[in-house]
Amino acid sequence: MIWRVAALVLVLLGGYAPASAAQDTHVIVIAGVGGDDERSARFHKWASSVVDSAKKRGVAPANVVYLGERPDADPAHINARATKENVTKAFEDAARRARSADDVFVLLIGHGSFDGRAGAFNLPGPDLGAADYATLLDLFTTQRITFVNTASASGAFLQTLAGPARTIVTATKTGGERNETRFPEFFVEALDAETADRDRNGRVSMLEAYDYALAKVKDAYEKEGHILTEHATLDDGNEGKFAATQFLAPRGSRASASASANPAMRALLEERDALEERVAELRLKKDSMDVARYEQELEKLLTDLALKSRAIRDLEAKK
């Protein structure tokens, strides 16, 4: 029965994108030492692309911080140099601004290192290691966190940073994979790629971006006939289910952009958004629930969601 209701929801949802109660997203993008002009330019290109995408998708400009190697190269994008002090300050400032239900998105683009015991991300001046970033993430006690380290040897960050309400993505599986990675190019590309949006809901989740980049990296190595030297990894404590609920855009921003001045339409959109959030939350609890109870609750929510989506389409047709 569940699969029939789910199929009905997919039909009725059409092009409408899910969202939930409005909240803020805080974005911290860090581009580390490039090592040469070519790599520095490449890292900046990817980082500034994410900054632009975040703002375009509804993240408040005040909540977007980009720390780069050369601020003078693009002062319109780069807030400050990516030093240990400035990175620490960016996290502390975001933690002070963030409300309890906000989302935090952190992206590291650059080179990493591993000494056999701990991993680090290379910055101008003293580096910050995995333990340092763990301390900074602990400033966010209730917020939902996405932390993406696209550097070489980034797998050394996984175990140190993993925790509840966190999605940790690394370009490598271990700290021993020290070759320069291709993952950042494709992960950044995924955030704005329609083909990465598998469920066609108008937004690319962290899981979808990860899967897209993972496939692109493998394809690139295979086409060149090279042995794969990087194995990206995602840990959200829920086999990807939690990462599937996380987006670069703030929850509710898509619905707000679609809402018309019609009070009836706005009310329907808000009710639909609340139902979609409840479905996502229920799916996260699946493994800890009685099977019959889970299916019963999911069936009711999906049915309500299908009916709400139909009401939205009917009202849209009248316009």
Per residue in 228-287, pLDDT tens?
A: 999 999 999 999 999 998 999 876 555 555 445 578 887 887 787 778 778 878 888 888
Mean of the pLDDT values across residues 124-134? 98
The confidence score (pLDDT) of residue 6 equals 45
Give 281 or 183, the one with higher predicted confidence: 183
Q: What is the pLDDT of residue 65?
A: 98
Please tell me the predicted confidence (pLDDT) of residue 268: 81
- As a whole number of angstroms, the distance between CA 299 and CA 319 comes to 31
Q: Cβ–Cβ contacts within 10 Å for residue 55, how many?
A: 14
Model confidence, pTM: 0.82
Judge whether residue 12 has pLDDT over 70: no
Q: Would you place residue 157 in the very low, low, confident or very high pLDDT band (cuts 50, 70, 90)?
A: very high
Percentage above 90 pLDDT, the chain: 72
CB 47 within 8 A of CB 279: no
The residue with greater pLDDT, 264 or 174, is: 174
In this prediction, residues 20-29 reach a mean pLDDT of: 79
Report the C-alpha gap between 233 and 168 in whole angstroms: 8
Among 5-9, 64-68, 228-232, 305-309, the range scoring the smallest mean pLDDT is 5-9
Domains and CATH numbers, the chain: 2-18+252-318 (no CATH), 25-245 (3.40.50.1460)
Q: What is the mean pLDDT of residues 170-189?
A: 98
Residues 34-53 have pLDDT tens digits of: 999 999 999 999 999 999 99
Q: Contact 168/161 with Cβ under 8 angstroms?
A: yes
Q: How far apart are CA 59 and CA 250, in angstroms?
A: 6
**Contacting residues for 254 by C-beta, under 8 A, at least 6 apart:** 17, 18, 19, 58, 202, 203
What single letter denotes the amino acid at residue 155? G
pLDDT at 11 over 90: no
Q: What is the pLDDT of residue 16?
A: 33
Average pLDDT over the chain reads: 89
d(CA 310, CA 103): 30
More confident residue, 310 or 212: 212
pLDDT of residue 253: 54
Q: What pLDDT, on the 0 to 100 scale, is given for residue 21?
A: 43
Q: What is the pLDDT of residues 79-107, one digit of tens each?
A: 999 999 999 999 999 999 999 999 999 99
